[in-house]
């Protein structure tokens, strides 16, 4: 497809990188030449220096032939204006990044009136991810499918874990719980295992389980089953606001430590039920005074990655809190894998996942829409949920007779709300949604799982 991306910040770079890898023709626009150069030097795309909210620049970028324009500048108003001009000039699909909480209550109206295909809020999306983790604190990552009926958990196996030494085909009978281990990370390998695979200490496993079996599964594993009761957040930006709002609605106590006095006053007005502390969240004495040793969850989300890493390392040494660390730059990825700083949140990649899912749904050939998409293990694997259309080649055929490509696992079938962990004799029907786990990235349609 012909895609125009306006804005070459962190989100724009991540989007361009991913979409160019998937074979789309991209043109990127930014006012700053240095930002544009970073993208064009790393990706095979065309760059234009200019204001993406002007008709002349969009025409130069080829808006008349474009299938999609994505506006992800730092300004919500600029993004909305870019999309409005694109609709008038080219009639293409449009996606806007809108971050300001003031607009969050009017998203439906804005989307409908401006004819937007999608509105994305990276901070709100990151807050959703963190809230899921605090609901299930024993997991490193939590992804949701089938409108909340299915969860994909990532768990690291310690020496005393009941699954160490277990062969995968025996897990359900051993735990008396219907679950499926779909990915195993061992050393530097990412493995889609078969039933004869044996788990070892220090393996990191991704497990698919229906929502009604979650508590039973965690109990059998000897893991905590309940959500945290209180959370300390360092950094009072937009993500902290969205997260605190969710946690307070879940009945979780929230304490936010923020350095800027004006921002603290704003948070006090927006979040009257939260405790707002004005102070330097990187100061050890302040953290100790505010009870970091006793908190059940600690979220580091300052604007500086290095500070967030150091804060989580400090929290790990003096507390048993569930740790969540927000990171913007992927350059730390190899280092972070060696550090025990809990769950790591990359907001720009959460945003990119949502937009890539939309693009793949636009590109599908048989109507088997990509309903959900998660990038896993630093983009080494994907978990996708497909809605099955009537022309799909997988319909009414037992799974054991499907000629699947290597490294493809059908992890779950949602049939009219009934969650099925599939065996060889199970059949996919029209209207089902199917969760597929694969290390073959770039699936657009359910037919892509077949040889």
Do domains 2-120 and 355-449 share one topology? The answer is: no
Comparing CA positions, the residue from 193, 216, 210, 220 lying closest to residue 152 is 210
pLDDT at 32: 93
Tell me which fold the domain 2-120 belongs to: Rossmann fold (3.40.50)
Comparing CA positions, the residue from 104, 93, 41, 49 lying closest to residue 71 is 93
Tell me which fold the domain 355-449 belongs to: Alpha-Beta Plaits (3.30.70)
Q: pTM of this prediction?
A: 0.86
State how far the Cα of 184 lies from the Cα of 166, in Å rounded to an integer.
Answer: 13
pLDDT at 333: 64
> Could you tell me if 316 and 248 are in contact, meaning their C-beta atoms sit under 8 angstroms apart?
no
State how far the Cα of 412 lies from the Cα of 131, in Å rounded to an integer.
Answer: 24
pLDDT at 215: 85
State how far the Cα of 63 lies from the Cα of 253, in Å rounded to an integer.
Answer: 48
> Could you tell me if 179 and 208 are in contact, meaning their C-beta atoms sit under 8 angstroms apart?
yes
Token code pair at residue 341? 């700083």
Question: Using one digit for the tens of pLDDT, what is the confidence trace for 14-50?
Answer: 899 989 988 899 999 999 999 999 999 999 999 999 9
- Positions of the chain with pLDDT under 50: 366
CA 317 to the chain's CA centroid? 28
Backbone torsions φ then ψ of 327, nearest 5 degrees: -130, 135
Dihedral of CA atoms 208, 214, 220, 226 in degrees, nearest 10, equals 130
pLDDT at 351: 83
348-352 CB contacts, 8 Å cutoff, 24+ apart: 348/10, 348/11, 348/13, 348/14, 348/122, 349/14, 349/375, 350/122, 350/125, 350/126, 350/129, 351/11, 351/14, 351/15, 351/72, 351/97, 351/120, 351/122, 351/125, 352/11, 352/14, 352/15, 352/18
Superfamily of domain 146-221: Regulator of K+ conductance, C-terminal domain (3.30.70.1450)
CATH of domain 230-345: 3.40.50.720
pLDDT at 356: 85
pLDDT at 263: 96
pLDDT at 334: 63
Dihedral of CA atoms 420, 425, 430, 431 in degrees, nearest 10, equals 0
Domain ranges of the chain: 2-120, 146-221, 230-345, 355-449
């Amino acid at each position: 497809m012909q895609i125009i991306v306006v804005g070459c910040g962190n989100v724009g770079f991540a989007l361009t990188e991913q979409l160019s890898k998937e074979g789309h023709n991209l043109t990127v626009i930014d006012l700053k030449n240095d930002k544009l150069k970073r993208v064009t030097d790393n990706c095979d795309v065309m760059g234009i220096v200019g204001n993406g909210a002007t008709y002349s620049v969009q025409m130069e970028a080829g808006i008349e032939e474009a299938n999609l324009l994505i506006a992800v500048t730092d300004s919500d108003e600029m993004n909305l204006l870019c999309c409005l001009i694109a609709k008038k000039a080219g009639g293409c699909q449009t996606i806007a990044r809108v971050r300001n909480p003031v607009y969050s209550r009017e998203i439906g109206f804005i989307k409908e009136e401006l004819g937007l295909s999608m509105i994305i809020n990276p901070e709100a999306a990151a807050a959703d991810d963190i809230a899921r983790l605090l609901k299930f604190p024993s997991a490193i990552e939590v992804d949701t499918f089938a409108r909340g009926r299915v969860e994909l958990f990532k768990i690291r196996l310690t020496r005393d874990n009941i699954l160490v030494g277990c062969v995968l085909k025996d897990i359900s009978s051993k735990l008396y719980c219907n679950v499926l281990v779909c990915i195993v990370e061992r050393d530097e390998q990412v493995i889609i295992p078969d039933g004869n695979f044996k788990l070892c200490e220090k393996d990191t496993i991704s497990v698919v389980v229906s929502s009604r079996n979650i508590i039973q599964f965690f109990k059998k594993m000897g893991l905590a089953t309940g959500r945290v009761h209180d959370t300390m957040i360092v950094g009072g930006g937009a993500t902290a606001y969205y997260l605190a709002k969710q946690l307070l609605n879940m009945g979780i106590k929230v304490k936010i430590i923020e350095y800027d006095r004006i921002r603290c006053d704003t948070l006090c007005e927006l979040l009257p039920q939260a405790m707002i502390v004005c102070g330097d969240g990187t100061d050890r004495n302040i953290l100790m005074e505010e009870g970091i040793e006793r908190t059940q969850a600690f979220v580091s989300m300052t604007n500086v990655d290095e500070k967030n890493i150091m804060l989580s390392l400090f929290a790990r040494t003096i507390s048993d809190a569930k740790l969540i660390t927000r990171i913007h730059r992927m350059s730390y990825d190899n280092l972070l894998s060696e550090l025990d700083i809990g769950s790591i949140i990359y907001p720009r990649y959460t945003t990119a996942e949502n937009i890539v899912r939309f693009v793949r749904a636009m590109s599908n050939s048989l109507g088997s829409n990509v309903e959900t998409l998660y990038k896993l293990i630093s983009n080494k694997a994907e978990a996708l949920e497909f809605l099955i259309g009537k022309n799909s080649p997988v319909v009414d055929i037992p799974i054991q007779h499907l000629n699947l490509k290597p490294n493809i696992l059908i992890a779950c079938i949602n049939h009219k709300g009934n969650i099925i962990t599939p065996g060889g004799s199970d059949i996919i029907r029209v209207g089902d949604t199917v969760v597929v786990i694969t290390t073959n990235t770039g699936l657009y349609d359910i037919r892509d799982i077949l040889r």
